C-alpha cells in the first residue's frame, strides 16, 4: 500500500460530538464528528465552506436487493444492485437536496453506495443541518494524499541537457506523442519471474488457467495503457476507465503505482519475461487522485458505484469479478472506520472479490487498517523470500470484528513488475509492499474464477488460505480443492 497521508479520521465508534460539545447528540440531531467540529471551531470566515458528507439515517433493504440480484449472472448483479440503490437514494435524499439547494450549497453530489450527500457548506449551515431528524451524522470529507509523485523521466525533457544531445524524432517534431507501443501477447514459453515460479503459476497455465475471460478492476493511481506489458490486457470499452476527477479520458498513470499493480496481475512478456499471475485476464481501472495528487472520500464512493455497473446500463453484464484496492486509512492503524462498510457489502453482494492491501504498519501488533479490516473485505499481507510475514506487513486482529489479520498472504518483497513508460521506454521495476502482495492475490483469484466460475467468492478465498505444514503452493492446492472445469486453452492470444 502506498504511504497515503490522511487528515485525522475519527472512527465511527468514537465519542459523539454535537455542535462542538462532547457527549451524546441531542435527540433527533445528527452527530457532527470530532474532526469536523474542530475545523468549525477554528473557522473564522463566515463565508468559507468545508467539504462534508451528510449521512442519512434511512438505509436500503440489503436482503431484498440481494434477492433480486441473486438470480442474475455475476457480472450483471452489480447493475441490478446499483439500479435499486439509485431508486432508494433518489427518494430518501430528495428533502435534503431541496434544503441544500435553498442554502445554495456548492458541489452538491448525491452518493449511491452509501446513503449520503457530499457538499461544501459553511459552518453555520452545518450547525443548522445537524438539527435535521433525517440525518445520522456529518463528517469532514477528508482529503487523501497519494504518495510523493515519482514520475518517470521524460525523454523530451532530459534532467541534464547538453548542447549536442540528440532528442528522439517525435520530440523534434514538436513534442507529439511517441508511436503507440505494440501490445505484448501472452506466450507460455517465455521465462517467468521467481515469484511466479514459487506460486506455481506456470503449472496452472499448462492446465489452461490463465485468467482468460476474467476482469480485475484496479483502484489506484491509474494504469499506463501505453506500456506494452499491460496495454494489451485493458478491456478497452468506453466505460472501462473511470477518472473520478474527469481530467483524463483514457487510461494513464502520473505516478506509476497502479501500473506496477497491473503488471503483477496481468503483465505479459514484452521484455522477454512474463510478469503477471493471470496474463490473459483483463483490467479496468479507476483513478483515485487528481492532478494535485488529492482525492476525497466522496470520490471513492463514486468509484464504488462505477464498479457496480461501469457503463451505467443495468442490462449489460460488465461488472468486474475482482476489485483490487491499494488505499486505506493507513494513518490510523488499529482503528475500525466503517465509512466504506456499505460499499464493501454491495460489491460482495454483487459477487465480487474485494481485495485490499493490508497496510504497511508492521511489525507492531494489531495494526489493521480500514477499510481492509471491514467485514467482507479481503485483506492481504506480504511475505518475504523465506515465506514469513514481512517485517513491514500489518498484523494482529481486525479492529472491526477481531478476525485474524490479514486474511491472506502472498509474496510482497522485491517483485519484478511494470512501471509507467517513459516515452518509448517500456520500463520495469522491483517493488515491495502489501499493495503488491494484494495484486498477486488478485491474479490468483482471476485463475480461480476462470477455473470455477460457479463457486462463491468465499469458497475461492477459503481455498487460497495457507495450510500449516503443506508444502504445496496455495494456488496449486486451491485449484485442486475447487476441482475446476475444462478451461480454454492457454498460449498466445
Half-sphere exposure of 492 (CA within 13 A, CB side): 6
- Cα separation, 429 vs 414, whole angstroms: 9
Sequence-ordered alpha helix ranges (H) in 219-293: 228-231, 257-266
Backbone CA torsion sign across 405, 407, 411, 414: negative
| Annotated active-site residue in 11, 12, 125, 220 | 220
- CB count in 10 Å sphere of residue 38: 15
Biggest CA–CA distance in the chain, Å, is 75
Let me know if 375 is exposed, middle or buried by CB neighbors in 10 A (0-12, 13-18, 19+): middle
470 is catalytic: no
Half-sphere exposure of 438 (CA within 13 A, CB side): 38
- Cα separation, 141 vs 153, whole angstroms: 34
220 is catalytic: yes
Would you call the peptide bond into 322 cis, given omega within 30 degrees of 0 as the criterion?
no
Label residue 106 left, alpha or beta by phi (over 0 means left) and psi (-120 to 50 means alpha): beta
| Annotated active-site residue in 55, 227, 255, 257 | 257
Q: Are 50 and 41 in contact (CB under 8 A)?
A: no
435 is catalytic: yes
Residues catalogued as catalytic: 220, 257, 435
Amino acid at each position: 500500500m502506498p504511504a497515503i497521508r490522511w487528515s485525522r479520521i475519527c472512527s465511527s465508534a468514537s465519542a459523539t460530538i454535537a455542535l462542538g460539545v462532547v457527549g451524546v447528540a441531542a435527540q433527533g440531531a445528527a452527530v457532527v464528528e470530532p474532526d469536523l467540529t474542530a475545523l468549525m471551531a477554528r473557522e473564522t470566515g463566515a463565508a468559507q465552506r468545508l467539504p462534508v458528507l451528510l449521512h442519512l439515517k434511512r438505509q436500503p433493504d440489503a436482503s431484498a436487493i440481494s434477492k433480486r440480484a441473486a438470480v442474475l449472472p455475476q457480472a450483471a448483479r452489480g447493475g441490478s444492485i446499483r439500479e435499486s440503490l439509485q431508486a432508494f437514494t433518489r427518494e430518501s435524499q430528495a428533502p435534503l437536496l431541496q434544503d441544500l439547494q435553498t442554502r445554495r450549497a456548492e458541489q452538491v453530489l448525491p452518493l449511491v453506495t452509501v446513503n449520503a450527500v457530499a457538499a461544501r457548506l459553511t459552518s453555520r449551515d452545518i450547525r443548522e443541518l445537524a438539527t435535521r431528524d433525517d440525518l445520522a451524522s456529518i463528517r469532514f470529507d477528508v482529503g487523501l494524499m497519494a504518495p510523493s509523485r515519482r514520475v518517470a523521466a521524460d525523454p523530451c525533457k532530459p534532467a541534464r541537457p547538453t548542447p549536442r544531445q540528440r532528442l528522439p524524432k517525435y520530440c523534434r517534431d514538436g513534442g507529439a506523442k511517441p508511436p503507440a507501443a505494440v501490445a505484448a501477447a501472452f506466450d507460455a514459453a517465455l521465462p517467468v519471474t521467481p515469484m511466479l515460479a514459487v506460486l506455481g503459476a506456470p503449472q496452472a497455465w499448462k492446465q489452461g488457467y490463465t485468467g482468460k475471460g476474467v476482469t480485475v478492476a484496479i483502484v489506484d493511481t491509474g494504469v499506463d495503457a501505453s506500456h506494452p506489458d499491460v496495454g494489451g490486457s485493458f478491456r478497452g470499452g468506453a466505460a472501462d476507465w473511470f477518472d473520478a476527477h474527469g481530467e483524463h479520458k483514457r487510461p494513464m498513470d502520473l505516478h506509476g503505482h497502479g501500473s506496477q499493480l497491473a503488471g503483477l496481475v496481468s503483465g505479459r512478456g514484452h521484455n522477454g519475461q512474463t510478469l503477471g499471475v493471470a496474463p490473459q485476464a483483463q483490467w479496468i481501472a479507476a483513478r483515485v487522485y487528481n492532478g494535485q495528487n488529492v482525492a476525497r472520500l466522496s470520490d471513492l464512493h463514486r468509484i464504488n458505484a462505477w464498479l457496480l455497473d461501469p457503463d451505467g446500463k443495468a442490462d449489460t453484464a460488465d461488472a468486474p469479478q475482482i476489485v483490487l484496492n491499494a488505499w486505506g486509512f493507513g494513518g490510523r492503524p488499529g482503528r475500525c472506520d466503517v465509512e466504506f462498510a456499505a460499499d464493501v457489502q454491495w460489491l460482495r453482494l454483487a459477487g465480487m472479490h474485494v481485495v485490499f492491501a493490508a497496510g504497511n504498519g508492521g511489525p507492531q501488533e494489531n495494526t489493521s487498517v480500514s477499510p481492509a479490516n471491514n467485514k467482507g473485505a479481503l485483506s492481504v499481507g506480504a511475505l518475504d523470500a523465506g515465506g514469513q510475514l514481512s517485517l513491514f506487513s500489518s498484523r494482529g486482529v481486525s479492529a472491526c470484528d477481531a478476525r485474524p489479520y490479514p486474511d491472506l498472504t502472498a509474496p510482497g518483497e522485491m517483485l519484478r513488475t511494470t512501471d509507467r513508460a517513459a516515452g518509448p521506454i517500456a520500463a520495469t521495476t522491483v517493488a515491495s509492499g502489501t499493495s503488491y502482495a494484494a495484486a498477486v492475490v488478485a491474479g490468483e483469484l482471476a485463475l480461480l474464477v476462470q477455473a470455477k466460475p460457479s463457486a462463491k467468492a468465499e469458497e475461492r478465498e477459503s481455498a487460497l488460505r495457507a495450510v500449516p505444514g503443506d508444502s504445496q503452493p496455495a494456488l496449486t492446492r486451491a485449484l485442486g480443492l475447487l476441482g475446476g472445469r475444462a478451461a480454454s486453452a492457454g498460449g498466445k492470444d
